[in-house]
Chain A
Amino acid sequence: MDFRLTDEQQMLAEMVGQMLAENCSGADLRRLLESGESRDAARWEQIVGLGLPGTMAPETAGGSGLGAVEMALIATACGYAALPEPLVEHAGVAIPLLVAAGADLGEALSGATIAVGHPINPFVVDADSATALLLADADALHLLPRDAVSLTRQASIDPFRRLFRVHWRPSAETRIGAGLWDKALDHGVLFAAAQLLGLAQRAVDLSVAYASERQQFGKPIGSFQAIKHHLATAQVKVEFARPVLLAAAASASPVRISHAKIAATAAAEAATHAAVQVHGAMGYSWEVDVHFLLKRSLALGQAWGTPGFHRARVAEHVLSAPLGADRTFGLGAIEEIRSEAA
């Protein structure tokens, strides 16, 4: 048992965080919005250059062969930066789906993206900029080129979330697999949770910086206890969502993954609300970056399953499975312990 990130994992997280800190500032986000483009070509090129789309693709297919923990760290960094490009769903959901279906990754590692229409989500994100879409017909998985479907854009509160209703028709030629949607759900949920955790931390950090500068009554507002306590309370939520997320990524347990989503959503909600409050009217304005985080949190908190959906998944386990202090990890092996000790 060793619940620590490895040095390589830590370095990966820092490297992605650093790259995004340089390329994805609030000013960069605003510039992208004004351009009307769906992605910043230079930033995306850098992301692809680092091989991030292939994080979870096997090395034999030209990927990095890394796991859900590494992808969760990358997704956390993307959440922290409020990254507009569809790296997380592409690398964390679409590519593992293609790999599981035994399909060719094509150009998916070299810049082209694939959008995912998981049945749990009513709309497909970033479908317009994708080269292809993975879509569900009951349990079956279909892969369609972008120009084989028609899209109706749905405006989201998050200006960077390009949502679409997809009109399409399944056929034998487009079908590439079946029985793969459950695993895709767990990936989608886990990496949404990771983004929520990252954006929660960003909301606290932005607020700490602002509260240390902004003066009222002759001192920084951050010296006032009411302000401190808003942010300390949010930080406690972040601290206790993080180990759940990492354990969920490491164990791939659906119950923990749902727990991680609930905890990260609560942390993001607390942190973004505190951020609006701590920034005062600035927090309610377009000028500071807080609203980008607030909007992303609103969207991701309901995407990939609402809190109610995830509570039901946790409830199914909690209200029927045997529980206890000895069951935090490795439930199977515990049975052996029981018979040994009996």
Chain B
Amino acid sequence: MDLNYTPAEQAFRAEVRQWLAAHVPSEPLADFDSTREGFEAHREWERTLHRGGWGMVTWPIEYGGRGLDLIRWLIFEEEYYRAGAPLRVNQNGIFLLGPTLIEYGTPEQKARFLPAMASGDEIWAQAWSEPGAGSDLAGVRATAVRDGDDYVLSGHKIWSSRAVHADWAFGLFREPGSERHKGLSLVFFPLDAPGVTVRPIARLDGKPVFAELFLDAVRVPVSNRLGEEGQGWSVCMSTAGFERGLMLRSPARFQVAAAKLVALYRGRADGVEPEVRARVLQAWMDADAYALSIYATASRLMAGGAIGPETSTNKIFWSELDLDLHRTALAILGAEAELTGAAPDAAADIGDWLDGYVFSLAGPIYAGANEIQRNIIAERMLGMPR
């Protein structure tokens, strides 16, 4: 165990810091879910990152990455959040599908999809959930019917984040007549293909963050399938591993939020009930514990280990941490907590805490609801009976 950064890692941090200081937009970008302009501004930022070689630091160089290890990825993320850089509009692509493509994709698929993903030219949505298949994802009914060199996709997907403006989606489709985990394939389709209808769905704050997708005989080449035909479930579980386990929520996000929470508390400590102070400290400690745990996992994976049940423990921990961070902030703000950013008397950061709280409510639901993660921990990690 060596908990010191190597000189090379330190130099890398300095390089990232320097680049971000020169390139992060001085004004925050409009959010990418509310308007097309906000979305396109974020696409532009992805392009800027890519030009600098920072699109996806862990990917192989030939696909637009930097070929770096996971410790450097963590350092990059720490600097990224520290610099207040924009959220990644292409996170479904770069953090979820990308690593799966690198693992399961053919050389042609990697060459075709990864560079455009890293550059922000193609922004991805995840189309797994269906009205009848949420927690029970193996219940998907959308079909992929083989027709020569094409698949014909039909069905109804829902809750697809960012699909309103995104370019491509990846989804799970079944061979007609197949059951449960069998006969599923993971297939990509362009969201502007003939037969695709995208209907925005407003989140509880009114923003059109996700969408329903109606697929009516959408034709895509068979080469858009990732992994073997009928093996979509295991490919998709690998993506879910990245989502819950590592990539989707890097620790820096919560460490920066925890530091802001402490600053909020320091500024208003006088009027705050003593029990809130303990919650502030707990949130800070939990963010620290999350970072340590991810460093430990990253070290293990770099030494050839495989990602295991920690995907489920991580998912529970970061989603509950995010909730605690924001609930505690609202407790500090007291009566002002209900003010949105638009209120004339709202101090600069108040609206952000409220927005963050609203978003944190979704954490225990998406990426596999926490109840499901607890089942997985009990059955696969602790070996309890089904």
A binds B: yes
0/1 interface trace, chain B 1-45, chain A, CB 8 Å (1 if under): 111111001100110011001000000000000000000000000
Tell me whether A314 is interfacial, beta carbon within 8 Å.
yes
0/1 interface trace, chain A 4-24, chain B, CB 8 Å (1 if under): 111001000000000000000
Q: Which residues of B contact A69 (CB under 8 A)?
A: 1
Tell me whether A259 is interfacial, beta carbon within 8 Å.
yes
Q: Is the CB of A229 within 8 A of B374?
A: yes
Q: List 10 A-B contacts (CB under 8 A).
A: A3-B296, A204-B382, A229-B374, A233-B374, A240-B317, A243-B293, A325-B77, A330-B3, A337-B13, A341-B17
Q: Which residues of B contact A222 (CB under 8 A)?
A: 378, 384-385
Q: Is the CB of B313 within 8 A of A323?
A: no
Q: Is the CB of B316 within 8 A of A241?
A: no
Chain B, range 231-255, C-beta contacts under 8 Å to A: 251-252, 255
The 8 Å CB contact of B1, one of A9, A220, A326, is A9
**For the complex, what is the distance from the CA of A242 to the CA of B289, rounded to whole Å?**
9
Q: Is the CB of A329 within 8 A of B4?
A: yes
Q: Which residue of B lies closest to A333 (CB)?
A: B10
Q: Is the CB of A323 within 8 A of B5?
A: no
**For the complex, what is the distance from the CA of A225 to the CA of B385, rounded to whole Å?**
10
Q: Is the CB of B385 within 8 A of A219?
A: yes
Given known pairs A240-B293, A263-B289, A325-B252, the reply for A330 and B378 (CB within 8 Å) is: no
Q: Which residues of B contact A311 (CB under 8 A)?
A: 278, 281
Q: Which residue of A lies closest to B285 (CB)?
A: A259
Tell me whether A34 is interfacial, beta carbon within 8 Å.
no
0/1 interface trace, chain B 350-386, chain A, CB 8 Å (1 if under): 0000000000000000000001011101110111111
Chain A interface size band reads: 35 or more
Tell me whether B229 is interfacial, beta carbon within 8 Å.
no
Tell me whether A246 is interfacial, beta carbon within 8 Å.
yes
Q: Which residue of A lies closest to B292 (CB)?
A: A243
Q: Is the CB of A324 within 8 A of B4?
A: no
Report A153 CB to chain B, min CB distance, Å.
Answer: 35
Q: Which residues of B contact A262 (CB under 8 A)?
A: 285
Tell me whether A208 is interfacial, beta carbon within 8 Å.
yes
Q: Is the CB of B79 within 8 A of A212?
A: no
Q: Is the CB of A324 within 8 A of B385?
A: no
Chain A, range 306-329, C-beta contacts under 8 Å to B: 311, 314-315, 318-319, 323-326, 328-329
- Of B13, B17, B281, most A-chain CB atoms within 10 Å: B281
Q: Which residue of A lies closest to B379 (CB)?
A: A228
Known: A325-B82, A325-B259, A326-B82. 8 other contacts (CB 8 A): A1-B299, A232-B374, A236-B317, A243-B293, A259-B285, A314-B281, A318-B262, A329-B295
Chain A, range 200-249, C-beta contacts under 8 Å to B: 204, 208, 211-212, 219-220, 222-223, 225, 227-229, 231-233, 235-236, 239-244, 246-247
**For the complex, what is the distance from the CA of A260 to the CA of B78, rounded to whole Å?**
23
- Of A1, A5, A326, most B-chain CB atoms within 10 Å: A1
**For the complex, what is the distance from the CA of A318 to the CA of B259, rounded to whole Å?**
9
Q: Is the CB of B2 within 8 A of A2?
A: yes
Q: Is the CB of B292 within 8 A of A3?
A: yes
Report B236 CB to chain A, min CB distance, Å.
Answer: 23
Q: Is the CB of A251 within 8 A of B382?
A: no
Q: Is the CB of A241 within 8 A of B384?
A: no
Q: Which residues of A contact B262 (CB under 8 A)?
A: 318-319, 323
4 A-B pairs closest in CB distance: A228-B378, A325-B252, A232-B374, A243-B292
Q: Which residue of B lies closest to A240 (CB)?
A: B289
Q: Which residues of A contact B251 (CB under 8 A)?
A: 325, 328
Q: Which residues of A contact B298 (CB under 8 A)?
A: 3
**For the complex, what is the distance from the CA of A8 to the CA of B365, rounded to whole Å?**
41
Given known pairs A220-B385, A333-B10, the reply for A315 and B281 (CB within 8 Å) is: yes
